[in-house]
Amino acid sequence: MPKTLLLVGTRKGAFLLESDADRRDWNVRGPFCEGWPVYHAIHDAGTGTIYAAAASEWHGSAVWRSKDLGETWTLSSEGIGYPEDSSRKVSKVSTLAARNGRVLVGVEAPGIFESKDGGETFSLLTTLEGQPGSEAWDDPANQPPGHLGISAIALDKDNDSRFWAIVQGVGLFETTDDAASWTPRNRGLRADWPRPHEEVGFCVHKVVRSDDTRLYQQNHVGMHRSDDDGHSWTEITEGLPTEFGFAAAAHPHDRDTFYVVPLAPLHGRTMPDGKATVWQTKDAGSSWKPLRKGLPQEDAWLGVLREAMAIDTYDSPGLYFGTSTGQVFASNDEGGSWNEIASYLPPISSVEVAIVD
């Protein structure tokens, strides 16, 4: 029987939550990674390895890895660093993507490092040099809050040379030649602030791909959908309680179904009115429905960060999110009902899900 594994990155290490295919009862293991702040933990289905991007205030940034589903861990930062004569510094490893032993690591200052040996050593793949706006990326005065740099990497499901990268506060970029060249993919997005370049200057929070042509995006200002693989975007915010949020998930079997967690946009950045709610569209953003059954509806001032929602690939997909106050909620019926499966974890940065044998 397959095992369902949630990989949870927190301010105080990584945790693993385990269940079976029913996804009703969960067992919590951890903390792992010696309690380092973990910004993103993922599972490479091709090799079975877990990777965790972590940055210690004392000991710097590194990628932890476990080849035995969390029983043992080791870390490496060999090669994660800009040249000695560069003014750029790696202050944080922010995000990960992996397939079949190749690991991509997004860092701040913006750049992507890769490992071809399963996370033992790394080398610089790209800094997106030459892209509009890139001349300002290294200026600390221009860094947005959070200093994430490359805040997310999304892989193409078939083509290893093609992927997307978000530069925080700048926009979405696509490469089709393994990072040799990049193209901004921000047309049609909204920005409520001045921008020095036509193609960039957008605050892209999260991008998920539902099939070969459709992408969804939670932006700082609005939900958006692309039906031409990111070449253009259409806003689909209408019907949601706010335009702001971080986390998002696309249904694995239905391209029109998509989930998002709107948050109050100003300082609070928590769920509106203190009612925990995931919003679902089943018609590609034409209408939205609140999913609340089993979620706290009173004084629940919960925040959910960019990588802190995930959806599995069972026939009836399970949906999961973790909060900035350490709760993990799970649904085994596509968001129809929810259970709190962990209550007292450290602040959660990321939730990913894997199905393992």
| 332-339: Cβ within 8 A, 24+ apart | 332/22, 332/23, 332/24, 334/251, 334/257, 335/259, 335/278, 335/280, 335/291, 336/291, 336/293, 337/293, 337/294, 338/278, 338/291, 338/293, 338/294, 338/295, 339/24, 339/294
Whole-number minimum distance, CB 334 to other proteins, in Å? 38
Rounded to whole angstroms, the Cα distance separating 162 from 185 reads 13
Whole-number minimum distance, CB 250 to other proteins, in Å? 36
Backbone torsions φ then ψ of 223, nearest 5 degrees: -90, 145
Closer Cβ to other proteins, 84 or 357, answer by number:
84
Bridge partners, 147 (sequence order): none
Whole-number minimum distance, CB 150 to other proteins, in Å? 19
Query: Which three-class secondary structure state does DSSP give residue 226?
Result: strand
Closer Cβ to other proteins, 84 or 315, answer by number:
84
User: Would you call 299 exposed, middle or buried from its count of C-beta atoms within 10 A (0-12, 13-18, 19+)?
Assistant: exposed
Closer Cβ to other proteins, 81 or 317, answer by number:
81
Whole-number minimum distance, CB 354 to other proteins, in Å? 25
Rounded to whole angstroms, the Cα distance separating 326 from 302 reads 9
Q: Are strands 204-209 and 215-219 parallel, antiparallel or unpaired?
A: antiparallel
The residues, any chain, with a CB within 8 Å of residue 103's CB and separated by 6 or more, are 44, 51, 63, 96, 97, 114, 115, 118, 119, 122
Tell me which residues touch other proteins (CB under 8 A).
34, 56-60, 62, 75-78, 81-84, 86, 89
Query: Which three-class secondary structure state does DSSP give residue 35?
Result: helix
Whole-number minimum distance, CB 88 to other proteins, in Å? 9
Residue 248 structure tokens: 């998002």
Closer Cβ to other proteins, 64 or 173, answer by number:
64
DSSP of 326-355, one letter per residue? S-EEEESSTTSS-EEEESSPSPEEEEEEEE
Whole-number minimum distance, CB 149 to other proteins, in Å? 16
Closer Cβ to other proteins, 119 or 296, answer by number:
119
Closer Cβ to other proteins, 63 or 291, answer by number:
63
Whole-number minimum distance, CB 140 to other proteins, in Å? 14
Closer Cβ to other proteins, 79 or 294, answer by number:
79
Whole-number minimum distance, CB 55 to other proteins, in Å? 11
| CA-based radius of gyration for the chain | 19
Rounded to whole angstroms, the Cα distance separating 242 from 119 reads 39
Closer Cβ to other proteins, 56 or 242, answer by number:
56
